[in-house]
Structure 1
């Protein structure tokens, strides 16, 4: 009786466990506490167990669909923002090109205008220089050198005065005649300004004194061309600044300075003449001032008379 009651109690407990579990029971596995038989599994619970994965499948499909929609949205937004700057960049680039083109046109127009103004100014400058050269050539003082009168005996024991004829003046070798003077251009000899004056005196002359544009041009044409060919001549202001005098003490009138000269840049108290390789340089703008201590070649001048031409020493 008690055994039967215990068996029924066990079966009731086992039935309760099956009712509480939602999964199917494995018939091949029995609890050792069950002695006689197993309670059959309810068909309803087995069917429910087979349909349990359905909600998870639906949730998975919904989640996958949501992911696809989200991915498509991200791609669309990214493509939109990528395309927008590119379009703006192209528009900005085109606008910059237009501005650069306009600026370039303005710059070309400005350059063309400046070139025209430069050409006009150069033309005006050339005209002014031509007028200045003509004025200098016409207003330069003409120095009349004194004529030497020579007395010649006559059969009547009287003397008559005759003018010296310039055609009878003959310059020594290495000297060049202009009017009543002969000029010497040193080629190998070089000295300071005062040393050059001493050398000219030993030759019977002095550093060249120039009064007219014709005389200046004649001497300048005798000079050889070089990179910077400079020659001392007889002009200085070492006794008083800007009070230029010739070696014979007479004031300088009708000068032929280069533009901007004399400038007394570094105690420049003596004058020299240049003739360079620059073909545009002209004779009547070839004077410069320089320190008297510089060693340069020089230009000597010797006044001539017929009576002394035969006995002239070199």
Structure 2
């Protein structure tokens, strides 16, 4: 029989105490049930090692949780930052596009003033003015677009100044006079422009005014003084007819009320003396061509 002090004896006594305490605390254990024996296979060192391992595992898990949380926060913050950068980039791109469109319109208007604004688009000046009036245009840019001021006795219409003479000259001399003022005989492309000029003329028995059209270079091929061909026109019925070598154009306003602005052009010999209409583009002079 093992002694009390021996390891085997200690193990037996310890197991017996555990069996008895377990039976006392377990009301579900019947008296006739076989006793449950709990065998301990190790000493107190095993518990300390398990505790250390569990603590280490908890620490690793805690560190992992903290690292994942930090990574999530950084990722969320980074995503928000990326969204902010994308929104800012989109705004900058939109502003740059608006700036480019405005510059293109202003360049088109300036070029039209230099080579002739008569392109069949009477709304171009209005469109540019509308753009300039918007608050998105920088103040320094708006300041450079000064209002058009015509010389004395010149009339403003759609970006050009017009002079209606009271003296008479032949067609080439009329063109030379206009050029001496930095202008040219009027080039008329729209019904609005034609009506505006015709309304300024006084009525009379046969009030006729030279303007800037001729077929002096090639018969029946009417061109403007800047060399561009005529498209359409506002001829009276039966005109032009080249009745007596009539190579220059003029408009007529008579006392007959039935005569209207959009049917008032006639052709006539270029050496006839008539008053005339000059036009000055407020952005540059045209190149002109006199008839032979």
TM-score using structure 2 length: 0.49
For the pair shown, which has the larger CA radius of gyration, 1 or 2?
1
Larger RCO (alpha carbons 8 Å, 6+ apart): 2
TM-score using structure 1 length: 0.46
